[in-house]
Amino acid sequence: MKRIFSPLFLFILFALTLVSTALRAQDKPSESKPGASIKWLSFEEAVALNRKKPKMIFIDIYTDWCGWCKKMDKETFTDPEVVKYINKKFYAVKLNAEQKESIHFKDQNFVNPNPGKSKSTHNLASALLKNERLYPSYVILDKNSDWTYKLKGYQKPETLLPLLHFYGDGDYLKMSWAEYLSKVK
């Protein structure tokens, strides 16, 4: 005996499949909330906010042509844990290492010496990176806006988070990175 499914039966089966798939997708705990993102500030905004309410400053030093920088933006800087922790403990700054605009910081005016030239590095980026030009790179300034730490290259969330906690929770003032890692494991 051969059965033929009616179009109504097939439509109902298709609709139930869509509904169950949508319900399962909502149960994923690892996905970030819609619209949750790092609150990126300009360098000047972060320094000004830090004067009013001291907090560490996390600086992402990038370039427009850097593929690893784009990967950080897409993967690591959208991770819910990274977003939550950076927003809680740091003023976050995106600093284009080749930007043309000058930046005034600690009684000094930092400029791009050759703003019309391709891949000309801004003096502030050079100073923060101690003249190393590797992108992406990250610098952490303490609550007094003093240079504290530099990290180079692409970082996965699970690699970046312990470092953020080490500085954000102030453990760097009490112990070495090696001691911290042995304590955390």
Q: What is the pTM of this model?
A: 0.80
- Residue 8: which pLDDT band, with cuts at 50, 70 and 90? low
In this prediction, residues 75-91 reach a mean pLDDT of: 97
Distances 24 to 17, 18, 153 between C-alpha atoms, Å = 11, 10, 36
| Counted domains in the chain | 1
Tokens of 68: 């690893």
Query: Is residue 5 situated within a structural domain?
Result: no
CATH code of the domain in which 136 resides: 3.40.30.10
The pLDDT tens digits for 136-162 are 999 999 999 999 999 999 999 999 999
The pLDDT score that the predictor gives to residue 31 is 42
- Residue 11: which pLDDT band, with cuts at 50, 70 and 90? low
**Averaged pLDDT of the chain:** 86
Other Cβ atoms less than 10 A from the Cβ of 152: the count is 13
Query: Is residue 9 situated within a structural domain?
Result: no
Q: Where in the sequence is the domain holding 136, given as residue range(s)?
A: 31-156
Has residue 15 got a pLDDT over 60?
A: no
- Residue 30: which pLDDT band, with cuts at 50, 70 and 90? very low
* Cβ density class 13-27: b for 16+ within 10 Å, e for less: eeeeeeeeeeeeeee
Q: If you search the block for the tokens 């996905």, which residue do you land on?
A: 31
The pLDDT score that the predictor gives to residue 106 is 93
Query: Is residue 47 situated within a structural domain?
Result: yes
